[in-house]
Amino acid sequence: MNKIVLLILVVSAFSITSVHAQNKDSLSFDERNKYIYYQVAEETKVKADTLYERALHFLKNAFENDRLKLSKEDKDKAILTGKGGFMVTKKALVSMQDDAKITFNMVIEVKDGKYRYWFTDFAAIPYRRDRYANFSPVDGKKIPLEQGLRKLGQKTLDDYLEQTLINCRNISGVLKTYMQKPSGTPKNDGIKRSVTTKEW
């Protein structure tokens, strides 16, 4: 019994430590008073041109178009811009239902040996039930998250910000993977290669 209690305490402590470690990055306000998720990362041995190509490859291929797509490229300034969106859900009867879509812009800027990126211009498009029992966007509604307290209420805004942060972290993780490897990385085509069992 004592061992079980000890194990639970160790696991709990580990979980709390992990959460704190993950929370080092967070949403902040930029100079325009807009929410921003801003990160700088290093790839010390990689030239700017290469990082640019890898970032371009990321924006073109990493996600479905409705989640993140390339919207502008400027090679002279070494800046790429993408547009994206993700669904935020709320608890329904026994499952989750679409509550809104959060749209955002993502900017990636590269230099020799490092790059920075940020997500900003977050706006919520509310969803509601339509005549076909689907949840679809409310016509004409787009609420910048900076106005969320007034238009969505504290609880909803907090929920949206939390899900926004999680989404930014997820995309960041994928970006870092793309920035670490050559941009021509072929997609997994799902074809199983033959395996030899004679040597091992």
Partner 1 sequence: MKRKLLLLSIMSAAIFTAKAQDSTLSITGSVDTYYKYDFADPKGGLGQIPTSFATDHNSLSIGMVDIALKKKISKAAFVGELSFGPRGQYQSIPAGDGNDLNGTNSFHIQNLYISYDLTDKLNVTAGYMGTFIGYEVISPTANFNYSTSYLFTNGPFQNAGFKATYTFSDKVSLMAGIFNDQWNGYRAFENGMDNFGAQLGLHPVEGWDAYLNVITGHTMGTEFDLTTAYQITDMFKLGLNAAVYSSSDYAKANFELPGFAGVALYPQVAVSSSVSLGLRGEYFKFKSDGPDVKAITATANIKAGPLTFIPEVRLDSWNEEAFEKKNGDPTKSASQFLLAAVYAF
User: Which residues of the chain form contacts with partner 1 (CB under 8 A)?
Assistant: 1, 4, 65, 92-97, 128-135, 139-142, 147, 150-153
Which residue pairs from 120-129 have beta carbons closer than 8 angstroms and sit at least 24 positions apart in sequence? 120/30, 120/34, 120/35, 120/36, 120/37, 121/34, 122/34, 122/35, 122/164, 124/88, 124/100, 124/148, 124/152, 124/160, 125/85, 125/100, 125/101, 126/99, 126/100, 127/87, 127/98, 127/99, 127/100, 127/101
Q: Which is nearer to partner 1, 21 or 94 (CB)?
A: 94
Nearest Cα residue to 25 out of 180, 164, 178, 179? 164
In the bound complex, what is the minimum distance in angstroms from residue 88's beta carbon to partner 1? 14
Q: Please, what is the minimum distance in Å from the beta carbon of residue 89 to partner 1?
A: 9
User: Residue 88 is inside which H or E element, if any?
Assistant: strand 79-91
> Among the residues of the chain, which ranges form H helices?
2-22, 48-61, 148-151, 154-179
Closer residue to partner 1 in complex, CB, 38/63: 63
CB of 130 to partner 1, least distance (A): 6
| Contact (CB, 8 A) for 10 and 18 | no
Residue with tokens 């339509």: 130
Cβ proximity to partner 1: between 79 and 138 the closer is 138
Compute the least distance from the CB of residue 158 to partner 1, in Å.
Answer: 14
Specify the residue, 94 or 195, whose C-beta has the smaller distance to partner 1: 94
Shortest spacing between CB 161 and partner 1, in angstroms: 16
> How far apart are CB 175 and partner 1 at their closest, in Å?
24
Which residue, 103, 109, 97, is CA-closest to 124? 103
Cβ closest to partner 1, residue 1 vs residue 21? 1
Task: Indicate the residue among 101 and 128 with the shorter CB distance to partner 1.
Answer: 128
